[in-house]
Amino acid sequence: MIEEDFYSTIKLKTGEEIFCKVAVSEEEDKTLLLVSNPIMISEVKHRSGETLGYKMEPWLKTTNEDLFIINLSDVITISESSDIEIIVMYQNYLRQSNKKSNKQSKLDRKMGYISNVSDAKEILEKLFKNS
């Protein structure tokens, strides 16, 4: 049975603190958290110590997955968030990262000359000798 989604900050036993959309699922004898698009938020401070803003980055940087399962036994604490400012920043971050991933294009020969090392070396040596 899966409960309704909510925004939350989760502190894991590893020390990581993530912000994400969470759904709670009861599976047999354990409770699982289904976390969607988890991010890490850190404060950006001025030299004087004043907070200038926040930096948001993906929790896991080497995957394109957006849904993860965390066992509740790996969590120190979980706090439902009703902070509209953080939620709006999170949603904007997700929109921006979706735009970036959609704009990435694949390399092809129309983008420029593609050569092998031997040909490139020969061309560069000719340019060097002629200069």
More confident residue, 48 or 106: 48
Taking the C-alpha atoms of residue 73 and residue 30, their distance in angstroms, rounded to an integer, is 8
Taking all residues of the chain, what is their mean pLDDT, rounded to a whole number? 86
Indicate the DSSP class of residue 3: P
Q: CA torsion angle for 8, 11, 17, 22 (degrees, to 10)?
A: -30
More confident residue, 7 or 123: 7
* First-last CA distance in the chain: 73
Q: 6-130 architecture in CATH?
A: Roll (2.30)
H or E segment at 79? Answer: strand 75-80
What the block records as the tokens of 80 is 């439902």
Band (110; pLDDT cuts 50, 70, 90): low
Residue 17 has pLDDT above 60, yes or no: yes
Its pTM stands at: 0.70
Domain boundaries along the sequence of the chain: 6-130
| pLDDT one-digit tens code per residue, 44-99 | 888 898 888 888 999 998 988 999 999 999 999 999 999 999 999 999 999 988 77
Mean pLDDT, residues 12-17 taken together: 95
Taking the C-alpha atoms of residue 45 and residue 49, their distance in angstroms, rounded to an integer, is 6
Whole-number percent of the chain with pLDDT over 70: 85
Mean pLDDT, residues 34-50 taken together: 91
Taking the C-alpha atoms of residue 45 and residue 8, their distance in angstroms, rounded to an integer, is 24
What the block records as the tokens of 60 is 């896991």
Pick from 61, 71, 64: nearest CA to 28:
71
